[in-house]
Structure formats: C-alpha cells, structure tokens
Amino acid sequence: MKNLIPYFTLGYPDNQTLMKFLRIMPVNKINYLEFGFPSNDPRYDGPTIRETHKIGNKNFNDNLYKDLFSYFHKNRIKMYSLSYYSDIKPKFNEFIDYLKSRSFSGIIIPDLIIDYYSEAKDTINYLNKNGFEYIPFFSPATPDKIIIDISKLTDSWIYYGLQPSTGIDIPYELDYTTERINSLLPGREITYGFGIKTEEDIKSLMKSGGSGVAIGSYLEKMLAKNDESGFLEYINRIRGALDA
Amino acid sequence: MITSINKDIMPENWYNVVPDLPEPLAPPRDSKSDFSSINLLNKILPREVLKQEFTFRRYEKIPDEVMEQYQQIGRPTPLIRAKNLEKFLDYNGKIFYKYEGATASGSHKINTAIPQAYYAKNEGVNGVTTETGAGQWGSATALAASLYKLPAQIFMVKISFEQKPLRKIVMNLYNGNVVPSPSNLTEYGRKVLKEHPDTTGTLGIGISEAIEYALDHDYRYMVASVMNVSLTHQSVIGQETKKQLELLGEHADVLIGCVGGGSNFGGFTFPFIPDHPDTEIIATTADEVPKFSRGEYKYDLMDTGGILPEVRMYSLGADFVPPSIYAGGLRYHGASPSLSLLINKGRIKSDEVTQDEVKEAIKIFANTQGVIIAPESGHAVATMLKYIKEHKNDKKTIVVNVSGHGLLDLSIFGDTQ
Ligand SMILES: Cc1ncc(COP(=O)(O)O)c(C=O)c1O
C-alpha cells in the first residue's frame, strides 16, 4: 500500500478545529501523519503554510493534543515532526525527548542540510543513536553528491519536494524528477511532497516507483474553511489515486 | 588559435552547475509574507525559462532554432592566445582570452537573450522587457527580440542613458524601445522619481520597473543575470573554451572573469567545476562594489522593489547605490546564488580592482592585442595582470574571459588620455 501522509501545522486554524479534523481523520486511509511544529521562521514554506505557522505559533498548546497523539499511535499511524532547525537547535536534545514521549517516530528538518550543512552529520548520527528516524528532505536543487551522502546516513524513507517551497506552482518535469531521484537512490522508499495537487500527478509519481505522497497546503485550506466533507472527500480521492 | 566557424566546438547542451555544487543551494524565498513572489514568476517569465530555472537538470538540450541563431551571431567565439601580451609582460606561461566581444551584439549577453526571446516568442506573448545598466544587456535583448520579431521595452539606468547616448541608438536600430529609469512608464518608477528626483538610477530599480511593465502589458521579463537560468545559458562560453583548449592540447591552470550578477563568469567557469578540481578560479569585482569582501552572505532581494523572490547570495544590500564606475554592468549589489555558494565554500576566489587598474589594463590590452575591451572585462584583465605580477615564474596557463568589446564605452578615456 502506498503511503498517504497528511500534513498539519499544530494550532492551525485553532486548536479546537484542528482537533476536530484529526478526530474525523479516517485512520484506515492514511499511513503517517506529519505535524508542523509552529516555526518563527518557516523559510522554506510557501505563503499558505507560512500563514499557518504564524497562527499556530499563537495557539499551539501541547497538552491539548496528548490524547490524540496517543490515539494515532495506538492506531499504528506513525507520526513525524516537521521542525525547523533554527527553532529547535538551542534545545535540540530536549525536543527529541519530548517527541519520543509523545510517541513520534521521527523528524523532518527542512533547513538542516541547507543552512546547517556542517552540523548535519552529527545531528543525524545523534538521532540514529537515539532510535529516532531522521527523514532526509531533498529537492530538485539538492546536489547529487549530497543526496547520496546524506541518504547513506539513514535507512529511513526519503522526503522529496517537487517545488522550491510548499504550495508553489512552478512548472516541473515529473519524469525527469523521478528518474533522477530513482537513479541516485535505487530501491529507496521515496515520498513526494511540496506542491502536489492533481490525481494525475500522483498516479504518475506512483507509477514511477514512488512510495507515497505528503499533502499539506490544500488540507490547510479545508481546515480554514471548516469544510469537513471536502476534507474527507479529498482524502478519499488521494487514497484512490494512490491505489489506482 | 582557433577562430573558424566550427560547429564541433559548440556544445549541444547547456550545463547547469547546481547538481554538482558542494552543498545544497538555498531555494529562493518569498520576500513578502502576504503573496508569493515565486508564484509571480509564472506570470513574468516564459514557462520554459522558469522550468529551466528550477528543474536543475545537469544538461539541457539547446533547441535547434537557438543553435542556428547562435551561429548567426558569431558562435563559437574565438579563443585566442595573447602572445603579444605574454611578450609585453615577459611572461613565461601562457595567456588565452575567450572573446565574447566577437558576437553581433558585442558581448556575452546575447547567449541568454536569444533563448529567452525564443521561448517568449513560442508562447505568443506581446513582447519582452528588461532593465539595462551599461546597455550591453539592453542591446542583446533588443537584438534577440528583433530576431524573433518581438517588441522590446528597455529600462536603462538613468546615468548610463545620459552617459552613453550611442547605446540608445544601437537599441533603437534593433527596434528596441528605450527609456531612462526611473521612468514615468511604471508606478514604481514614478514613486522613485517623486521621492528622489535626482537619482541616477540603479539596476535594482530598473528590474522592478521592467517586471511591473511585464505584468501590466503581458510582456515577458528577460533575465540578464543572477538567476540560475542565465548562467546555464551562458555555459556555452565555458564549454566552448574547454573544447578549444582540448583541441590545442592545453589545460587551464587559472580562469579569471568579472562579476556583475555572475552570468558571464558562471557561464565561463562552471563547466570546469566538475572535472577541473585543480584549476584556480578567480572572480573580479570593482573596488567600489566589494560584494565578496564586504558584502554579507545572506538572503537578500534581487531587485530594489522587492517584487522578485529573495535569494541567498553575497550582497551589499538591495538599496546599495554604488558610485558611478566605468563599468555599469558591475554595479549590481549581489551575485548569483550558485556563484556565491562556491565563493563561500572557497572553491572560487575573488579579487577587487581599482578604476585606475582597469583603465591601465584596457590600454595594455589594446596596445598589445589590438582589442578594445569592455570596462567590465577590463576588471578581469586587471586581475590577470596582478596575478601574473605575483606569479611571474609559475608558467601557468591563464584563461581570461573578455565578456565584451568597449567600442561604445570609449568616453571613459575622454579628456584624461
Ligand atoms: C561586457 C559585460 N561584461 C560583464 C557584465 C556583467 O554581468 P554578468 O556578471 O552577468 O556577466 C556586463 C553587464 O552588463 C557586461 O556588459
């Protein structure tokens, strides 16, 4: 089964609404969940997600989500944190301990290899030692050698962004993009994200060997509109495209 | 010397350095929080240009139609061994120069103007628009647009417009429309004029004006430099040079070029990055625009108006207004992200030269090789002269990129000759 990974920024649009949508989430249709911990500087996100961080930052209250986190854990939905290194660096170890205490499986750090390349290796090794998954995050702009070197440090799945940032719509060549990452990392589990919209895109990504997709901006818009049925319908459609 | 029109020297693909960089390139970032300047690129750039800016293929096939025009405007350009200069300097090594001044428009700028105009034409837009400093880019844009029968609206930095009336005539001959920037044609231009009526203009202001004009008139914006796609197109320079050196049985020990936004420099040197790890590479700027020594490596605006995304680069600040040096094309506040990264990682070194050194270099080059080079290129040659003085006995093979001729910049010699 291909992986469907919905993304939510914690605290957006407000805690109650987000919790309501999480409760109606059909756990049999999704595989992992990605939670954005509100960032002071979500620099590699597009306008939609950036806005969610701004609002999430004001609202987010960890205590409220405790039960939901453990509910997903019990339902075998792996949870990953999306956190910016610029935010968590000062208290990195504590933050990882906290995530573990909330049953998270791993972490995606979009700015680690871009802005803190010299610290990346040690950081990844620390996570390995602590039994916490580091999910490498790459984009078409990541140099070949970096993709190979960083991937070697872990055996987790890979998060491959199709766009320079979330919710951006720049023309890209799907075939070339998938060919490139497949040839650099043969046999590796690749999940695509950043700017995936159409079901056609999803079908071709899966046909080329992709193992799943992460979706974010579109869901956040549904939450903002409080559109429960649209939300469920969208999850169903994506699930369908993945399994087609 | 290899100067013949030899198709074999021309590469079939453009080369993009991004997949070969030592560290990941920071992606462009929206400069405002309420709208996406990255999405805006969809409206101002031809689709294919935008795709090339972001797909990061190592090799991008040069379309046949572009190849044909490259030949029409004089590619491949000559790589010439500067024996007279070697003798004059009493240098035991070898000096070569790649001469981009031999193109029809007189500089390397035409190498990216042609594909950009070609892609714009294919999309059936109303025309193309851009900014120009010294006028080289404006001339190339006007020529490329005229080759594809597209109207061109050019915003020329006011001080250059006043100092270089001949440039305007060149652009007009190529059917280009030219106005001094800031101008009354755009809201941004009118705002700057109101706040700073005496401004001499900057490339940053010109960029903002051109983009606004593109949005309002369904024109496409032509990217002179800085953005990766322009460096990719310019890679014909370096790839030809590599091939020419290979045919001569030579190996480049040192590559030197000048940097405005980085297009001629990146195009000339990047093709050497993957397989010439020992080649020393030096980027020259003007003393007055010390972006690499005094600029900060940070996210900054590409244009003063902040319409384009921010990129991580060496920058003196988007509102930096440099003194009016000889080389209008080197007054830009920043430098291309890929070049900035390679400088930051120490793969590429930088140098700065004074206006006196530039003038002297142009004179020496004219007296020995007979070619009157552009003041921008004069910076690269000045660095080379310094380098040779410091490495007199090293017997190196030095290749310098002469990005353009200076026949329309002679006023810098005016009365002081
Ligand atoms: C002859 C010449 N060389 C160099 C430059 C600098 O631009 P870039 O750094 O993009 O090559 C210019 C810009 O106008 C130019 O006209």
Residue-level pLDDT, tens digit, chain A, 244 residues: 899 999 999 999 999 999 999 999 999 999 999 999 999 999 888 888 889 999 999 999 999 999 999 999 999 999 999 999 999 999 999 999 999 999 999 999 999 999 999 999 999 999 999 999 999 999 888 999 999 999 999 999 999 998 877 767 778 788 888 999 999 999 999 999 987 878 998 999 999 999 999 999 889 999 999 999 999 999 999 999 999 8
Q: In what order do the strands lie in the sheet with A137-138?
A: A133-135, A106-108, A78-82, A32-36, A3-9, A212-215, A190-193, A158-161, A137-138
- Taking the C-alpha atoms of residue B265 and residue B330, their distance in angstroms, rounded to an integer, is 12
CB contact, 8 Å: B25 with chain A?
yes
Q: What mean pLDDT do residues B63-67 have? A: 97
**What letter does residue B107 receive in the DSSP assignment?**
B
Domains identified in chain A, total number: 1
pLDDT(B151) > 80: yes
Confidence of residue B417 (pLDDT cuts 50, 70, 90): very low
Report in angstroms the alpha-carbon separations of A34 from A74, A77, A164, B378: 16, 10, 19, 54
Find out whether B325 and B129 touch, Cβ atoms under 8 Å: no
Cα torsion B235, A115, A213, A49: sign: negative
Looking at chain B, the whole-number percentage of residues with pLDDT higher than 70 is 98
pLDDT(B1) > 80: no
- The interface pTM score, or ipTM, of the predicted complex is 0.88
- Taking the C-alpha atoms of residue B124 and residue B146, their distance in angstroms, rounded to an integer, is 15
Find out whether B241 and B2 touch, Cβ atoms under 8 Å: no
CB contact, 8 Å: A146 with chain B?
yes
pLDDT at B33: 65
Find out whether B143 and B155 touch, Cβ atoms under 8 Å: no
**Which residue type, as a one-letter code, is found at position A182?**
N
Q: Is the peptide bond preceding residue B76 cis, with omega within 30 degrees of 0? A: yes
Confidence of residue B174 (pLDDT cuts 50, 70, 90): very high
- Taking the C-alpha atoms of residue B151 and residue B170, their distance in angstroms, rounded to an integer, is 15
Burial of B90 (0-12, 13-18, 19+ CB in 10 A): exposed
Mean pLDDT computed over every residue of chain B: 94
- Taking the C-alpha atoms of residue A192 and residue B106, their distance in angstroms, rounded to an integer, is 45
Name the least confident of A82-96, B148-162, B183-197, B296-310. B296-310
Find out whether B354 and B327 touch, Cβ atoms under 8 Å: no
Confidence of residue B3 (pLDDT cuts 50, 70, 90): very low
Q: What mean pLDDT do residues B323-335 have? A: 86
Of the candidates B20, B24, B51, which has its C-beta nearest A114's C-beta?
B24
- Taking the C-alpha atoms of residue B373 and residue A215, their distance in angstroms, rounded to an integer, is 54
If we measure between CA atoms, which residue out of B211, B39, B46 comes closest to residue B129? B211
Of the candidates A140, A145, A169, which has its C-beta nearest B55's C-beta?
A140
Residue B119: its chain A contacts at CB < 8 A? Answer: none
Closest approach of A224 to chain B, Cα-based (Å):
16
Active-site choice (A34, A87, A111, A220): A34
Q: What mean pLDDT do residues B46-60 have? A: 91
Burial of B393 (0-12, 13-18, 19+ CB in 10 A): exposed
If we measure between CA atoms, which residue out of B98, B75, B109, B108 comes closest to residue B6? B75
CB contact, 8 Å: A140 with chain B?
yes
**Which residue type, as a one-letter code, is found at position B185?**
L
Find out whether B206 and B157 touch, Cβ atoms under 8 Å: yes
Q: What mean pLDDT do residues B283-290 have? A: 97
A200 catalytic per annotation: no
**Which residue type, as a one-letter code, is found at position B24?**
P
Q: In what order do the strands lie in the sheet with B280-286?
A: B79-81, B94-99, B397-402, B254-258, B280-286, B349-353
- Per residue in B343-400, pLDDT (tens digit) is 999 999 999 999 999 999 999 999 999 999 999 999 999 999 999 999 999 999 999 9
Q: The tokens of B340 are what?
A: 């900035």
Nearest CA in chain B to A171: B51
Residue A141: its chain B contacts at CB < 8 A? Answer: 18, 24-25, 27, 54, 56
Q: What is the dihedral of CA A190, A194, A196, A202, to 10 degrees?
A: 0
> Do B19 and A143 lie within an 8 Å CB cutoff?
yes
Q: Is A192 helix (H, G, I), strand (E, B) or coil?
A: strand
Query: Which stretches does DSSP call E strand in B265-327?
Result: 280-286, 296-301, 310-315
- Taking the C-alpha atoms of residue B222 and residue B154, their distance in angstroms, rounded to an integer, is 10
CATH number of the domain that A237 lies in?
Answer: 3.20.20.70
- Taking the C-alpha atoms of residue A220 and residue A231, their distance in angstroms, rounded to an integer, is 9
Confidence of residue B415 (pLDDT cuts 50, 70, 90): low
A138: enclosing H helix or E strand: strand A137-138
B383: enclosing H helix or E strand: helix B375-390
Kindly give the distance from the C-alpha atom of residue B333 to the centroid of ligand 1, in angstroms, as a whole number.
13
Q: What mean pLDDT do residues B148-175 have? A: 94
Q: Is the peptide bond preceding residue B46 cis, with omega within 30 degrees of 0? A: no
Find out whether A212 and A3 touch, Cβ atoms under 8 Å: yes
Closest approach of B340 to chain A, Cα-based (Å):
14
- Select the more confidently predicted residue: B163 or B278: B278
Kindly give the distance from the C-alpha atom of residue B375 to the centroid of ligand 1, in angstroms, as a whole number.
9
Name residues contacting ligand 1 (CB within 6 A). B 107, 133-134, 136-137, 225, 258-265, 329-330, 374, 376-377, 403-404
CB contact, 8 Å: A59 with chain B?
no
Closest CA to ligand 1's atom 1: B404
pLDDT at A81: 98
- Per residue in B214-253, pLDDT (tens digit) is 999 999 999 999 999 999 999 999 999 999 999 999 999 9
Q: What mean pLDDT do residues B123-137 have? A: 94
Q: What mean pLDDT do residues B165-172 have? A: 94
**Which residue type, as a one-letter code, is found at position B196?**
H
Number of neighbours of residue A159 by Cβ within 10 angstroms? 23
Find out whether B102 and B77 touch, Cβ atoms under 8 Å: yes
Q: What mean pLDDT do residues B184-195 have? A: 96
Alpha helices in B218-331 (DSSP H): 228-248, 263-269, 291-294
Kindly give the distance from the C-alpha atom of residue A115 to the centroid of ligand 1, in angstroms, as a whole number.
30
> Do A176 and B55 lie within an 8 Å CB cutoff?
yes
pLDDT at B5: 54
Residue A114 lies in domain: 3-243
- Using left for φ > 0, alpha for ψ between -120 and 50, and beta otherwise, residue A135 falls in beta
**Which residue type, as a one-letter code, is found at position B244?**
Q
Residue A113: its chain B contacts at CB < 8 A? Answer: 23-24
Show which of residues 53-92 on chain B sit within 8 Å of chain A, judged by CB atoms.
Answer: 53-57
